[in-house]
Amino acid sequence: MYKIQSNQSGSRSIDITEKHLETIEKYQLFRDLIDSHGFVDEQVLDKLKLNIRSLLESDSCHDNDLLDLCLDVIYHANMKSFGLQQLVVLFINWKQQKTE
């Protein structure tokens, strides 16, 4: 289990499981998500939410892991752009450790 900080002051956090990270990898949710400017803002978070919503609404996707990721992380009340940036960093680090 991992924990990401969801605001700059550190007073809020979100728990991330290995299964959440595997689901992000499975659906490549961060692929082409962040524009060339490299900033994670509320528009990027909204884009991610829309991408996931379209996956869930498609007939071919009936994945409870993706639904759990939404409920536990992406649509979490504390998830803001800062939290998404922390999640992206965690995912990159997790992926690097996995390949080593």
Query: pLDDT at residue 78 above 70?
Result: yes
Tell me the mean pLDDT in the region 22-35. Answer: 93
Query: pLDDT at residue 17 above 90?
Result: yes
C-alpha dist (Å) from residue 6 to 11, 61, 63, 73: 8, 28, 26, 10
Q: Which of 50, 98, 39, 41 is nearest to 74 (CA)?
A: 50
With pLDDT > 70 as the criterion, what percentage of the chain qualifies?
A: 98
What pTM was estimated for this model as a whole? Answer: 0.93
What is the band of 3 on the pLDDT scale with cuts at 50, 70, 90?
very high
pLDDT at 61: 67
